[in-house]
Structure 1
């Protein structure tokens, strides 16, 4: 249907092969022992990690209660997997979560007209629920001082808020995987230049860019995944 309106209907189950190959190199080079999967949804990313041979600990966060419950059941036999039924933000709170037709599009932010144009059958609002949110670095036992973390963020425009709540974990975070917006799909979404500047200030540099979706008419990227790795001495606080 999107094609009828001149838009590129790239599936959210996109081909991850190139990104996955790069991810394996990052996990190896930085000796990652713990992955924090924020915006875990049905566990797609965690499943890919296990299929690729990652045997370390996975801490997965999913704010949609029913999805978090299904996630916990799906990985019940995995002793190194923990499902957390909450969202993450810059402070502990209770927030309204917009549940959309495509659960992987659900967000604490409201969609804009671009999301409706590009993904009309995925971004329809089903309901609004209230869910608890936590600071990541305030969760007891999430990581020890000797852990080496990869932080994966897929929160539909809310990544910088999550990262702001991870300040105390910066020394342990060796790599970050984020989804950046070139054409924002949610109100208040930071642009990709702003996002990359925040991570650079915190000591991370890009090691790979992987397009997620494009505008079929112009071929402009709508969103892309970006892998960032520790490249500079990390600051102990994020920019205001």
Structure 2
């Protein structure tokens, strides 16, 4: 025990950590939950370059993945990853609460912090490289109607992962038909513990909306922290219908 503690202290000097795998690995826990609840379709909204899809595949999820990413540069990487995998489709479109064109603010950190919403100083002060550097107009659609138009079968064991930087409320509104049908059995939301985007959904609103939809919180993992103070700013919350 003492030896492991010393090893962990030594590697932490380089900005990394050593923890017991897999239960201390957030993605591994999520995949375990996907398998436990017999999820057969992951709807990946705000997929960026396909990192989420690749990770759950590597950790043993074998079901269908449908990913959505509106920005062209990350979509290219996403499309390549999806093409290499079985049962993984990717579409270049934004997901929201209405069928219309929207302007996406493109962030300087490889698009990871891009959002339809204006970014607040509370975000840029702790992550200057996330500042917006461009604006891109894209097509947007509701998830419930888009899946029908694309002929994508959903069934009743789907998991909806949403990573849209404050725009989660609009995505949930646009998926209301899926929730009403009982098609969504699991949900992942990126919750902001402080306001980072103007008009963005707060963590309390996210928790309340998930509970109102009949979901129980089953995982909470840090995503984004203030490097100076250590204050947690965003966390991924995973919910399932128990």
Instruction: Output the TM-score relative to the length of structure 2.
Output: 0.84
Counting only pairs closer than 5 Å after superposition, residues 140-219 of structure 1 correspond to structure 2 as: 140=148, 141-144=151-154, 146-170=155-179, 171-216=182-227, 218-219=229-230
- Check whether the contact 2:40–2:158 (CA below 8 A) recurs between aligned residues: yes
- Check whether the contact 1:61–1:84 (CA below 8 A) recurs between aligned residues: yes
Q: Which residue of 2 aligns with 1:3?
A: none
Unaligned runs of 5+ in 1: 1-9, 232-240
Secondary structure in 2 aligned to 1:105? Answer: coil
In 2, Cα distance between equivalents of 1:47 and 1:202? 28
Verify: 1:84 aligned to 2:91, yes or no. Answer: yes
Verify: 1:43 aligned to 2:54, yes or no. Answer: no
In 2, Cα distance between equivalents of 1:24 and 1:81? 16
Unaligned runs of 5+ in 2: 1-14
- Check whether the contact 1:181–1:190 (CA below 8 A) recurs between aligned residues: yes
C-alpha deviations, 1:60-99, integer Å up to 9, x for none?
Answer: 0001023223311232132411111000001111000001
- Check whether the contact 2:188–2:236 (CA below 8 A) recurs between aligned residues: yes
In 2, Cα distance between equivalents of 1:201 and 1:18? 28
Report the RMSD for the aligned CA atoms in angstroms: 2.0
- Check whether the contact 2:54–2:81 (CA below 8 A) recurs between aligned residues: no
- Check whether the contact 1:69–1:85 (CA below 8 A) recurs between aligned residues: no
Secondary structure in 1 aligned to 2:25? Answer: helix
C-alpha deviations, 1:103-126, integer Å up to 9, x for none?
Answer: 1111101111111111001x2221
Higher helix share: 2
Alpha-carbon distance, 1:185 to partner: 1.5
In 1, Cα distance between equivalents of 2:44 and 2:170? 15
Counting only pairs closer than 5 Å after superposition, residues 19-34 of structure 1 correspond to structure 2 as: 19-34=26-41
Equivalent pairs, count:
217
- Check whether the contact 2:162–2:189 (CA below 8 A) recurs between aligned residues: yes
Instruction: Output the TM-score relative to the length of structure 1.
Output: 0.84
